[in-house]
Structure 1
Amino acid sequence: MTKSAGLLIIKNSKVLLVKPRHMASDSNWSIPKGIIDIEADGNIVETAIRETYEETGILIPKDKVDFSKRSLISYVDSNGILSKIIFYFVVEISDKEFNQYRISSDFDSSEIETIAFFSAREARKKIYWKQQSVLNFIKPDSFCINELELFIKLGYIYKVKHPVYPIWLYNITKKCKLHKIWNYTTLSCRGLILDDSGKIIARPFKKFFERNEIYPEVLDLLSEPLHTTDKLDGALGVLYKYKDSYYICSKNNFNHYIGALATDVFYNQLHHLFSKDLKEYTILFEVITLKNPFTVNYTGEDAIFPIAVVNNISAKNDFRKLEELEKLEKFDIISTSKEGVVEFYEDGTMIKEKLPDFMNEYRKLKNLKEINFFCNSDKITGNILDRKKIIDHSNNNLLSNLMLFFSSENIEYKKILMYWI
């Protein structure tokens, strides 16, 4: 797998793109980037600065690089195999700084034909489609609907319409996780709520990972965590406000019972805490319900716990705002164990650490669910076919006879089945 690093340079709400030489199409422009050389550069920030200078003649000082504004772009080949990763950092400069940092009008003409600044609208027509997500940094209060629709057609994102209001909830699919199609857009679609124009109504945490799932090039940039919090084993509740009313939904669906339960608890116990308007933020809750316990067994009443106040523009957790909320009354929720912890870093990175005891119990419950599933295969076969979730990846067709499938001894197909369920 190839790993590259680059800079997304923004000036006057326009983004700098380079046109690779020997590209006949005018829709293959790119952000300046190049192959990572850790031995020569030390880290991916230095690589991004060096490669940008080589391709544009612009030398960006390291202190101009905003570590909190970074993301990645994943390239997957036709077989669904991850083939390339681009790490990039956002740099915003003025006209004066541009003239100061452009120390040479020369660039690597063997690779680059020309460079130019484009508005977001112009850039979407020029930039290579797999890099479209970088343009969301130009207008961080919204997402491009056309890009979201493209990812929906590719099977990496799905959307759910609100039953009443003209707003939509976006979430990633199993296919996205399987292929590891991570970029600014897919990472943000974890219960993201937008209106018809793409403007953000509510913005949950970006997708975050366990330490062993994070690229070492990113881990090298992190210092000590600023905050560490216990991770409750519940469901994520996303608070959103529309037409002067508050609602809570799950990250998967507006109509999920978790959202209805959490909204009820909110109005009965917590609504008085929200007299101060926080329309520029999204409040996230951990929803604990005994009606559908997860791995950790809790005792007590159904409850919701605020776990984050996410800035709708920067996507960072504002701990000061979180602390400003009045202390919640003590709920009678008791457990002898916990799921793990979440570490929050200065640049906005979040890392979850799940405890070994929790993972052991989680695996036991998962195995029980698999046993129950196969014991009741006749009952759910039709439902699975209706949902079109089972795919034979060898020829990319739906499995047409699940009864034969269930009676077979093909372990690999059974793994595929359990994954898609």
Structure 2
Amino acid sequence: MIKPMAVEERSATPVTDPLPPEADRQAAVRGGTASQWQLIWRKFRRHKLAKIGLVAVLFIYAVAIFAEFLAPSTPSVQDPKYAYAPPQVLHVYSQTEGLGLYVNGFQVKQDPQTYARTFTSDPQQRIEVGLFVKGAPYKVWGLFPSDRHFIGPKEFGQPFFLWGADRAGHDLLTRILYGARVSLSIGLVGVAMSFLIGLTMGGISGYYGGKPDTLIQRIIEFLMAIPTLPLWLALSAAIPAGWGPLTRYFAITVILSVIGWTGMARVVRGRFLSLREEDFVTAARLDGCSQPRIIFRHMVPSFSSHIIASLTMSVPAMILGETGLSFLGLGLQSPAVSWGVLLQDAQNIRAIQTAPWLMLPGAAIFITVLAMNFVGDGLRDAADPYK
């Protein structure tokens, strides 16, 4: 009798496919042909806090760009009767046309001895609130006249203070939105100017070396040895008191740029020292390229990602610098509106005790700087090839 052949037992260990799955293979192919910026963006997207910070920064800058339309009023509109009026709560109710919005009015009581006024919400006074309503006239970016506001009272002139009012009866929300444009633009313009100075001085120092390098490094060390705040105070005090808001704006921007270029110059110098002996730089020299072309066409793009990460980290410092100077009364001054100017009202402890909403510009600064730091950390990690 012929015995059946023994069935060969299969191994319990599954046979693995030596080739990667199709999705991984395509990702590998894409990774091999991806540009430097594509690789940075892929690493940046894995940084959750950086993505949240980027969304927040884009939202804040969008609000600053369209501040006139989004603000319920204009910075110059004031009503002294409502000085230090508390924030009003926005209510939603049902009506025949759909949902409606309203806020309660105020009952104002004045102490006959101290003349201090007390505001209480009056449910009997309903102030109808609408979207895209007519209000105080303004010019979009100083060019196009309009009177439409995203939100505001349907009847122009009624008290409407979602974030409260300051000591002169200005709407604090309106002034914060307008102040965002000034504070954020100073950060961008100041960083742009310091970037040009730092790139030029650091490039000369790192590319040529020798005496130019020694001279520039001594200047950098001298500026970095001076305490920042006293240097800001000294330069700001030199600004003539008769200068207008626009002139002082540019003066403060120049001051922050003159002080802030040293860190960028150090970074650029270090990169130039490491790159000037590389093969592609030597090949560019042998090919007859001019020195400016070698610097700006070949060397700078090779570490542009690091420069962008450094610039992103510098913008919050510029914003805090302007805020500090304006808070101390040496930067922008009224009628200019910036977050630092608004925080001048917070210097009075008694005012903060009775009107704590005056600290809201500080909250705006905190959120903006924190979001920018998250974005800077994400860009720095994404641009680092060793992470």
Under TM normalisation by the shorter chain, which class is it? Answer: under 0.3
| Larger-Rg structure | 2
State the TM-score, normalized to the length of structure 1. Answer: 0.22
Relative to its length, the structure with more strand (as a share) is 1
Tell me the TM-score normalised to structure 2 length.
0.24
Query: Per residue, is there more helix in 1 or in 2?
Result: 2
